Homo-oligomer: A and B are copies of this chain.
Amino acid sequence: MDYSLLLSEFRRVVEFPDKEFLKLTPLIERIRVKKNEHLLKAGDISRKVYFVEEGCLRQYLINTNGEERNIYFKVECGWCSELESFLNNTPTELSIQALEDSQLLAINEKNWIYAVTHIPPFTMYFIRAQQQTNYMLKKRLGEATIETPEEKYIRFLQEEPQLLLRLPLFQIAAYLGITPETISRVRKKIGSK
């Protein structure tokens, strides 16, 4: 079994000795999911933390009208989970779905708790990664209601251009909180794909 992608992601952020990593790998399973398959649905209790080796996941909110908003997309080297549900054993309101056929690493609840309490570099990696997510979410929350559709799309082009190439427009629209029609018009206006 090759876990080099995971290890390199850890080492991007913290020091992670081989010895500690060997304690972690037995706690991991590798799974494959098909495009459109759900890993977590609103109302379910989350049982696993996922690391994307290949493919793309989205976490999203759906309202009573069936309208959806994507919270984020996670591609290679991204983590996707709903720890709040996982740790408190409560149903989540946020769903997780594969947008491409994907290969994932998964850690279950018991193993995750073991890792975070017994493998210090994992703990520190986790705190740092959480923190980055946190800051990103705070910024995006502010931007969500202060920026115009044009500003949102231009920011997206600058910050996450690679997603444009692999996702359909309506998914990006549901991420930016605007309609596909509006994006189409912004594109025309700014003369950009």
Question: Which residue on B lies nearest to A138, using beta carbons?
Answer: B71
Instruction: Determine if A144 and B177 form an interchain contact, defined as CB atoms under 8 angstroms apart.
Output: yes
Question: Which residue on B lies nearest to A135, using beta carbons?
Answer: B84
Q: How many copies does the complex hold?
A: 2
Instruction: Determine if B130 and A82 form an interchain contact, defined as CB atoms under 8 angstroms apart.
Output: no
Contacts of A48 in B (CB 8 A): none
How many residues of chain A get a CB closer than 8 Å to chain B's CBs?
42
Distance between A56 CB and nearest chain B CB, rounded to angstroms: 18
- A146 touches which of B137, B141, B142, B177 (Cβ 8 Å): B177
With contacts A117-B124, A124-B117 known, is A142 near B71, CB below 8 A? yes
Contacts of A156 in B (CB 8 A): none
Instruction: Determine if A139 and B61 form an interchain contact, defined as CB atoms under 8 angstroms apart.
Output: yes
Question: A134 to B127, alpha carbons, bound, how many Å?
Answer: 12
Instruction: Determine if A94 and B142 form an interchain contact, defined as CB atoms under 8 angstroms apart.
Output: yes
User: Which residues of A93-133 have CB atoms within 8 Å of chain B's CB atoms?
Assistant: 93-94, 116-117, 120, 123-124, 126-128, 130-133
Question: A94 to B142, alpha carbons, bound, how many Å?
Answer: 9
Q: Does A87 belong to the interface (CB within 8 Å)?
A: yes
